[in-house]
Structure 1
Amino acid sequence: MPSDPSAEAPDPGAVWPQAVLDLLTAAGNRTVFEHGERHVSGTQMSSLIRRIAAGLGHAGVRPGDGLVPALGVDPEAFAAVLAAFAVGARVVACRPDQLDDVLAQADATVLDRSRLTALLTTPDDGEPLRAAGRPRDAARVIYTSGSTGRPKGCVQTYAALTAAWAAHPDRWPPAIRDLATRLDRYLVFGSLTSQVMLEYGVLSLAAGGTLVAADPPGYPAAITRHRGTAGVITVGRLHQLVRDQRSNPADLSTLRALMVSGSPLDPGRLRTALDVLGPVIFHGYGQTETGMIAMLTPAEMLADPDTLTTVGRPPAAVRLSLRDGELYVRTPAQACGYWNDPAETADVFTDGWVRTRDLATLDPHGRLHLVGRARDVIFVHAELVHAGAVERALAAHPGVAEAYVIGAPDDDTGEAVHAFVVPSPGARPDPAELRALVPGSGSPATVTLIDRVPLTAAGKPDKSRLRPPPTPTGTPARAPGR
């Protein structure tokens, strides 16, 4: 496991998730989790956590042991995640389609529904639960969405999670303080091990709010059905919601906050979203490796239209360094490396800084502008797709001599993958067959056959001159710009 760059261990007994356990105890009879007709109070949730934690202890789970929760979204799932942290386990977060790869490399066992049911038979002794995590141990390993390559496990230690701001109102930066007032009914879906689901969920609890299971998920229906006040949304789904509200408006009168991140958001589209949905958009910028780096609030956007081209001001606790235009950051809860991947760790984590591989500038007002990427990646529904991995998969086809991949804005997915293929002599590969070579989000939205790729003055491939067709096509096309 990579070493933790954090300076000092927290006070004994204060390690993550002790602050969350204390929040739930303080909540008493207040509803903290709503699932359909079920309303689970802080007292009831605390009891669930104690029972599961005791069951894990009886089953031999000790600090440092790896657990992969595969549980969905309900009160027991939330309790299980917190119980796993409480006993000091290494909680491994991944998508279902990554599970086989993750289990092969993560030294962890699956905590599924049947095992959880057995754990819940453990009696509750009623004694206050004290977090047992060791500060420098890995607390969470989040497998990044390298959807066309081997998933990478991003490691956060117990010290890092303890330093996070969500459960501690005295640490909230201004943008988060504004957001916290809107989290009365925070919609949760997907997985409660997700970084954004858990982080904003804890923030909601600290602000006195309730986690509401969006079952089934999907906007605007989940907002209207559950009277949701806040939720997370990708850029592509934000565009869809705006279109839906223009053509067939739903009653979104309860909505007060949509946290948007994961893909570039065009300033014009951001302005339109504010016009259609109202002052509810929080535009966040961060990475799995860093957590939140900056956030732009609705009030800032409405007060100064120039802010729409930025991602806001980083809070005081976030340090920035621009090195030849590339952004490096230090955040209180940043990761310390990748699980069992020293080469990639050395490339991204250096002397306590995280290399974002994003190009950025700071304006005179301290606002952060993202101006490009130092890495060739595409974000599809907030999942990171490496262009090189897609190109290698396509180039392995016998009918392909060369393959080039670019990303372009997409109303449905935030960004989409577009492939340009130079066929082998005498070949005419089927675009549908090529798309099938790349599973999941990395599968190209379009495959265009070209006779040769544009070149720079230095004779290198110039992907910046490739442009996706307006509609999917499999007919040969001359390279754009020629």
Structure 2
Amino acid sequence: MLFPHPLLDALRAAPGTSAFEHAGRTVSRGELLDLIRRLAGALADAGLGPGRALAVRTALTPEAFAAHMAAHALGCRVVGIPSGHTPAQLAHVLGMDVDAVLVDPSTAAPELMVKPALSLGPCAEAVDLLAHPDDGRPLTVQGRPDDVAALMFTSGSTGRPKGCAITYRALSEHWAWQPRTWGPFAAAFARDFERYLLFGTLASMVVMEFVAPCLLGGGTAVIPEEDGRPPFPYAIERHRITGSIITVPRLFQMLRLLEERPADVGSLRALMVSGSPISAKRLAAAAERLGPVVYQGYGQTEAGNVAMLTPEHIAAGRGLDSVGRPHPGVEISVRDEDGWELPPGLTGEIHVRSPYVMAGYWGEEEETRDTLRDGWLNTRDLGHLDDSGFLHLAGRTRDVIMVNAMVVYAGPIERVLASHPDVAEAYVTGAPDEDTGEAVHAFVVPPPGRIPDPSALSALVRAELGEDSGPKTITTVAGVPVSTGGKPDKRALLARLL
């Protein structure tokens, strides 16, 4: 059944039940379905349809979710724009064959109005879709299986965002969006996400992946109000949340807050931890504090969810130093540098195959060929499978750092730093950080007579590459140590700091 048919059918089946809670209001499934229908008509009248591209940057609201689904019903390519892009990065994304841009009153900005602009609410220089007359036209799904349904972005090795192209066929076979084929794992998520704490951005692959079991399984997605307090743990207590996803830094923050001022989080039944590495010790401590509700997930924007460690594994003390077993429908192959598959226990590059792996990087043919071969995605991560099928991560072949669950490349940061007249050489690496998962640490070698200003260098990086790329520390060194192979030894540099 072609996406988003399963969602629309689920909304029709239980129109009186709650789909969203947001800003003191409840939006029923029937109301959400009607909103999707009306927005699809408005988008169609704006010239959008199969194969056309709608870039979306909005706040997280039921209307925004409905707009995404309306565009998908029309067969559009939805280009989700996360916050934090620099003007150059935003221009790069909008140059990806985008036909129109959708904003709302909180996100409208001049740099987004370079394409025909649509809005969810009154905005200057934009057509308000919510004010479009409702002509009662029926909602029909017009997507084509091999058309691209969504572009989800990850950072590129050059500092430009890469758009991961996910087809309608891939979303139609995605585990999260097909309740008729749910196995025990997905069905359990749907039950446990009865009241799902939804936050972040719909431009995120993982956010969209985990809101699906909630809405398809009869649950309610709760968008917490902004009250100055972290949603974890206080929104859990206030809204009696049963399930959510959480990054490692937010998990650490939540555990610290629970120590300082206890909150009732006993309603939790499933908490998916993902986005960056977490030690076995910290994972076990989280499970001990929160109970048998903690999952750990490993995935990529290019591949969706790849592997998962369940509360049952954690309770049994199995695989705590792993990221779990492959998700149903996912195949994992660990290979050596020549592409030969390695037996359990030997470390190599992790390759993934599943029905919902991306079709490629939009407009990046060479990068796509390097990443996708014969249906297998090279994750560029290193690891091994053990005899029980648990996947253990060992590092990355790419020089990347996971900051706030976002991929940050060291290379572009080094190039920006080296462009400053006070820097002759720049070296960037990452290290675990309880606030951000991992943090960027930079080491610079100045030219003779120059004294680098760390604050100025950090501001330069943030202006060029975005907030997540900003170094936590910038250390001036006289020179860089080298390894026995003659390459810069970043581990030795980091050892001087930590």
TM-score by length of 2: 0.88
Structure 1 residue runs of 5 or longer lacking an equivalent are 1-13, 472-482
Of 426, 430, 439, which aligns to 1:407?
A: 430
1:404 counterpart SS class: strand
TM-fit CA distance, 1:106: 4.2
Contact 1:45-1:79 within 8 A present in 2 as well: yes
2:161 counterpart SS class: coil
- Equivalent position of 1:51 in the other structure: 38
Contact 1:81-1:193 within 8 A present in 2 as well: no
Contact 1:147-1:441 within 8 A present in 2 as well: no
- Equivalent position of 2:120 in the other structure: 116
User: Aligned partners of 2:14 and 2:134: how far apart in 1?
Assistant: 18
Residue 315, structure 1, aligned to residue 319, structure 2: no
| Closer/same/farther in 2, CA of residues 174 and 285 from structure 1, 3 Å limit | farther
Residue 327, structure 1, aligned to residue 318, structure 2: no
| Closer/same/farther in 2, CA of residues 214 and 285 from structure 1, 3 Å limit | same
Of 401, 415, 439, which aligns to 1:416?
A: 439
TM-fit CA distance, 1:223: 1.5
User: Aligned partners of 1:185 and 1:468: how far apart in 2?
Assistant: 44
Contact 1:383-1:441 within 8 A present in 2 as well: yes
User: Aligned partners of 2:484 and 2:57: how far apart in 1?
Assistant: 51
- Equivalent position of 1:476 in the other structure: none
- Equivalent position of 1:229 in the other structure: 242
Of 87, 98, 109, which aligns to 2:74?
A: 87
Of residues 437-446 and 249-258 in structure 1, the stretch that sits farther from structure 2 once superposed is: 249-258
TM-fit CA distance, 1:140: 0.1
Of 333, 348, 354, which aligns to 2:371?
A: 348
Contact 2:3-2:177 within 8 A present in 1 as well: no
User: Aligned partners of 1:308 and 1:191: how far apart in 2?
Assistant: 30
TM-fit CA distance, 1:128: 5.1
- Equivalent position of 2:224 in the other structure: 214
1:204 counterpart SS class: helix
| Closer/same/farther in 2, CA of residues 236 and 370 from structure 1, 3 Å limit | same
Of residues 315-324 and 409-418 in structure 1, the stretch that sits farther from structure 2 once superposed is: 315-324
- Equivalent position of 2:405 in the other structure: 382
What are the superposed Cα offsets for residues 253-283 of structure 1, whole Å, 9 maximum, x if unpaired? 2222221111111111111111222222110
- Equivalent position of 1:425 in the other structure: 448
- Equivalent position of 1:461 in the other structure: 488
Contact 2:72-2:143 within 8 A present in 1 as well: yes
TM-fit CA distance, 1:174: 4.3
- Equivalent position of 1:132 in the other structure: 142
Residue 269, structure 1, aligned to residue 256, structure 2: no
User: Aligned partners of 1:159 and 1:15: how far apart in 2?
Assistant: 7
What amino acid sits opposite 2:249 in the alignment? Answer: G
What amino acid sits opposite 1:254 in the alignment? Answer: S
User: Aligned partners of 1:390 and 1:106: how far apart in 2?
Assistant: 28
TM-fit CA distance, 1:334: 1.0
- Equivalent position of 2:177 in the other structure: 167
Contact 1:245-1:276 within 8 A present in 2 as well: no
TM-fit CA distance, 1:61: 0.9
Contact 2:158-2:411 within 8 A present in 1 as well: no
Residue 239, structure 1, aligned to residue 243, structure 2: no
Contact 1:164-1:332 within 8 A present in 2 as well: yes
Contact 1:175-1:296 within 8 A present in 2 as well: no
TM-fit CA distance, 1:245: 1.0
1:97 counterpart SS class: coil
1:190-201 to 2 correspondences below 5 Å? 190-201=200-211
User: Aligned partners of 2:328 and 2:178: how far apart in 1?
Assistant: 15
TM-fit CA distance, 1:26: 0.9
| Closer/same/farther in 2, CA of residues 170 and 47 from structure 1, 3 Å limit | closer
Contact 1:184-1:208 within 8 A present in 2 as well: yes
Of residues 162-171 and 25-34 in structure 1, the stretch that sits farther from structure 2 once superposed is: 162-171
1:369 counterpart SS class: strand
Contact 1:186-1:230 within 8 A present in 2 as well: yes
User: Aligned partners of 2:219 and 2:372: how far apart in 1?
Assistant: 35
TM-fit CA distance, 1:147: 9.7
User: Aligned partners of 2:144 and 2:11: how far apart in 1?
Assistant: 22
User: Aligned partners of 1:390 and 1:56: how far apart in 2?
Assistant: 39
TM-score by length of 1: 0.91
TM-fit CA distance, 1:80: 0.8
Calculate the aligned-residue CA RMSD, in Å.
Answer: 1.9
1:100 counterpart SS class: helix
Contact 1:135-1:158 within 8 A present in 2 as well: yes
What are the superposed Cα offsets for residues 442-474 of structure 1, whole Å, 9 maximum, x if unpaired? 111011111221111122211122226668xxx
Contact 1:67-1:111 within 8 A present in 2 as well: yes
TM-fit CA distance, 1:182: 0.9
- Equivalent position of 1:77 in the other structure: 64
